Every structure is written in structure tokens, then in C-alpha cells.
Structure 1
């Protein structure tokens, strides 16, 4: 496995290798598109934060997480399981996210999800362990691997912004679905995570330029 994405030096190395492997990525790098490292703490707290942020805006996720952290102290699986559903609903968590967080906490406590060991596992294996938890889908698993563990080859192919950026960068007639984007990303191994960061950065560029959401 490539070195974890923990420093800007590693990020730059990944960008250099992507530029050598893919002319389109080389063009993005040359144009000045600059991705950010953006790493969050790993473990239960980091994964819970991502679950809270599923399918809501960044502002909403931040507000919900702030309320949750007021009652989730310390942010550990056993403390989460000790909270009542009423308390969790008071933090504005949906019923689905409450179920997911409880399932996650149970899997960690019972040893079926070794969060402390995932950074040593290949991306596919770590992804499979995460998605076995009811309520954690591919996007959540990939975002955790990329932003909490710094796994350089994690790739959220179902992310709409990444898909739209790929459509624009590669001159595709329509936004690629997850399967199509996964196939395109084979060229970027073992730096698919860096490619995702580049595409997010490029998406911010085109969104600003065009002034239109996806």
C-alpha cells in the first residue's frame, strides 16, 4: 500500500504520479487546481461524524454534530449506546441515523469492526468491513478511509461532485455513474484518493465559474 495521506509531501507525490499516468490529470495539475489534505481524526468519533453528515448539507451536519457532542461525552461507542433514543432525537438525528450509530457502536464494542486496525488493511478489505455495518454504505466507507485514515487509494465513486467534475474534465456527454467512474479510476491506482481530491478541487473551480449547482 502507498504511504498514507498524512502530509502535503505525500499529496504532492500522488499528484505527480497521477500526472504521469493520466494526461487529463496532468492538465489539471498544470492549470493550478490544488486539492487540500483535509484530514479528520480516525476512530469512532470520526466515523460517527461522517454518518451524521450523510445526505445533509455541511451546515446542517455541523449543527447536528454540535448538538450531539454536547451529550456524547466522551464520544465513544459505550457512551453512545447509553444514550436514549429521545436524547439522540433531541440532537436532531433521524431515526435511520440513530439506528446506524447504534449498529456501529455495537459492531465496534463486539469486535467485528476493528477501527483501530483499518489503516493497516488494503482499501477493499477495510471498505468491506465498514459496509457490513447496517446503514454504512459505500460513500460513507470511502469518505472515512480517505479523510480519517488518509488511505491514498480510497475512491468515493458515488459522490456526485466527483462524478460531475470527471464529466467536465474528461469531456463526457453525461455524468458518469459509480460503475463507469470506478472503471475510469483504474488508471489512477494506487492514488485514486488523491484523484478524488483533485476532482473535488476542480469541481469547486467549475462551480464557481459556472455559478450552477449539480
Structure 2
């Protein structure tokens, strides 16, 4: 009789110990699992055509003309700027770092860049994550020029049919999207083309 009681208590004790060990192993395994890494947070550098990363201008070189555009705006107010890439400034506006920033041409260059800013800046924050795939949203730029913004495959922001190269670069309250082209109205585009034919 006494042996059966001891045996029952031993089985109960072993069962309790095994249960505690299992719980302990599960807890250790669960809490020591490596965290799933988010690829967008792996690198501190800028990855082109990114989806929703809050990169700062310190992590990314915007280019001299792009920096000029950003510096023209107050840094403590919310703005979004669709900045042309350096290549787009050179290709579409004939602005080059070697020539356009010389002292005798700087005022003209500044006027062109500020005019492009008027077409390209919106007084609100527009991040790529706020846009829905395939949906076109209309905004008025600082100059009143209408901007039609959408999100394409892979998180690419498209503005007036110009695709972005880089999105969601931040400088304080300002969000910058770098485009492979220049946003401008027909009159400004004609004046740029006219100046180009004059030079030829």
C-alpha cells in the first residue's frame, strides 16, 4: 500500500518536472529566436527606388541643384519636393555643375532652379507609403501647377508621368522624391527649348 502511494507520488513528481522542463525549453526557445530582419533597415545608405524608408539628406547626396531647391524652403514646415536628378537637370535644362554655377551664370541658374521649385513643391507631406498602388492623387504645386501623383510597381512614385529614381528622402519636415525628369509647364518648357536653339 505504502509502495503504491510512493509510486503514484513519484509519477506525479516526474510528470510535473517534465512539464516544467518543457515549458522552460519553449520559453527559452521562443525568447531567443533571432528577430526577422527588415531589409530596408539593414543598410544605412540609400537604396534607389525604395518603398518607405525615412532617409535623411545626410545619408544621401542630392546634388547641388537639388540642394539649392531644398534650401529655398523653410526647414520647419511640411513640404514635399519632386526634385529632378542631376542627370535630368543636365539633360532637360542644360544645367551643369562645371558651367552653370560660375559667377556670371549663377543668377540665371538660381532663377531657373527657383522656377522649377515652384512647379515641383507641394506644401504638405507626401510619402510613398501614403499613396495607393494605381490610384492617382492631384495636388497643386506652389505655383498652382497641377501635379498628378501615383505609385507604380515596386513603390516607384510617378508625377505627371515622370518616374522617381529615389523616394522618401527627408530633411527635417521636408520630404524629397528624386525624379528622372523635370516638372514644368508648357511655357517654361518652350522658353528652355528656345534658349537651347539660340545657343546652337
Query: Under a length normalisation based on structure 1, what TM-score does the superposition of the two structures give?
Result: 0.24
More strand by share: 2
More helix by share: 1
The higher radius of gyration belongs to 2
